[in-house]
């Protein structure tokens, strides 16, 4: 008996990182999974990886830009023939290379970041709720990816990104209250910096930039995508039926640290697909 048996799940930003690992764990736990991303080429590669790792599972793909409402509407409608959506993981997001502080961040970077990271999550929530109602769902789960930077300030400024993730937290908390008596649960995920392309491409080979961040982890290492995915499975499942409006912090203790230990870092778990 899988923890997600019978559940139809959408994962946005499923072409890599957290989204791909979550799609795989969802399928391994018995869910039917629709993987979605704006990047068609990477999405098809990710789909092939997921299908190979979970043979026999229902895993399909649907290209969509989360910042374009009709595309999100079509994505959600694609699950009508499956019996409607039960779970949506609004995970797609960007951190722009040219993000900066209050002065250096340009209006274009600000607007694009809010458009994808905030509006994209809003559209996902909106069309998921419409689908839950259309299919007469009595329970459903929405998980929105925020970040620890919505909780703690970063001196390495990324003000557009940070503001967008704060908005995700606030929006999720409110929607959790609005829809609680319909049985629709909303929670957000707050990952710490991870070993995924979103951050690793940004850090590149700059060891000083990397060290500036790694030092804040009690374990001495960045998180792995699969460590986020494990939390998302819990939030998607009925095991979390009384978990509502929460900010689930999966950060290796980063936001609990004052001074961190010294010495070698602890080993990281292996991802299923990402990074291989």
Ligand X SMILES: NC(=O)c1ccc[n+]([C@@H]2O[C@H](COP(=O)([O-])OP(=O)(O)OC[C@H]3O[C@@H](n4cnc5c(N)ncnc54)[C@H](O)[C@@H]3O)[C@@H](O)[C@H]2O)c1
Applying CB under 6 A, the residues found at the interface with ligand X are 12-13, 15-19, 37-39, 42, 65-67, 91-95, 116, 120, 145, 147, 191, 193-194, 196-199, 225
In 135-155, which positions are buried (b, 16+ CB within 10 angstroms) versus exposed (e)? bebeebbbbbbbbbbbbeebe
Least Cβ distance, residue 205 to ligand X (angstroms): 17
Three-state DSSP at 114 gives helix
Give the contacts of 17 (CB within 8 A, at least 6 positions apart). 194, 196, 197, 198, 225, 274
The catalytic position among 132, 161, 186, 222 is 161
Q: Following DSSP, what letter does each residue of 240-274 receive, concatenated?
A: GTT--S-EEEESTTGGG-SS---SSPPPPPPPSST
**Active-site annotation holds for 123:** no
Q: Which is nearer to ligand X, 39 or 74 (CB)?
A: 39
- The minimum distance between CB 185 and ligand X, in angstroms, equals 19
Query: Which residue's beta carbon is nearest to the bound ligand X?
Result: 17
The least distance separating ligand X from the CB of residue 43, rounded to whole angstroms, comes to: 8
Cβ atoms of residues 90 and 18 within 8 Å: no
156 in helix, strand or coil?
coil
Q: Which is nearer to ligand X, 197 or 245 (CB)?
A: 197
Q: Which is nearer to ligand X, 88 or 137 (CB)?
A: 88
The sign of the dihedral angle between the CA atoms of 117, 121, 124, 130 is: negative
Q: Which is nearer to ligand X, 119 or 135 (CB)?
A: 119
Q: Which is nearer to ligand X, 82 or 202 (CB)?
A: 202
Stretch (H or E) spanning 144: strand 140-145
CB of 138 to ligand X, least distance (A): 29
Give me the DSSP letters along 22-59.
HHHHHHHTT-EEEEEES-HHHHHHHHHHHHHHSTTS-E
Catalytically active residues are 161
């Amino acid at each position: 008996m899988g923890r997600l048996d019978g559940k139809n799940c959408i994962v946005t930003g499923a072409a890599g990182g957290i989204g791909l690992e979550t799609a795989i764990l969802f399928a391994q736990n018995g869910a039917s999974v629709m993987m979605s991303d704006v990047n068609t080429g990477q999405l098809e590669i990710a789909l092939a990886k997921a299908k190979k790792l979970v043979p026999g599972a229902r895993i399909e793909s649907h290209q969509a830009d989360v910042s374009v409402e009709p595309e999100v509407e079509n994505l959600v409608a694609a699950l009508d023939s499956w019996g409607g959506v039960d779970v949506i993981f609004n995970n797609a997001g960007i951190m722009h290379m040219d993000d900066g502080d209050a002065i250096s961040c340009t209006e274009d970077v600000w607007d694009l970041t809010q458009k994808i990271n905030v509006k994209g999550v809003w559209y996902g929530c909106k069309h998921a709720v419409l689908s839950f109602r259309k299919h007469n769902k009595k329970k459903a789960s929405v998980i929105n990816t925020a970040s620890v930077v919505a909780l703690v300030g970063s001196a390495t400024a990324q003000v557009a990104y940070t503001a967008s993730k704060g908005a995700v937290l606030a929006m999720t908390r409110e929607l959790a209250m609005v829809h609680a008596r319909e049985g629709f649960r909303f929670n957000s995920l707050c990952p710490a910096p991870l070993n995924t392309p979103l951050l690793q491409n940004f850090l590149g080979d700059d060891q000083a930039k990397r060290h500036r961040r790694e030092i804040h982890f009690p374990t001495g290492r960045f998180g792995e995508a699969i460590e986020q995915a494990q939390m998302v499975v819990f939030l998607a499942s009925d095991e979390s039926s009384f978990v509502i409006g929460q900010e689930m912090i999966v950060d290796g203790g980063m936001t609990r640290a004052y001074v961190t230990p010294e010495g070698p870092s602890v080993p990281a778990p292996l991802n299923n697909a990402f990074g291989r």
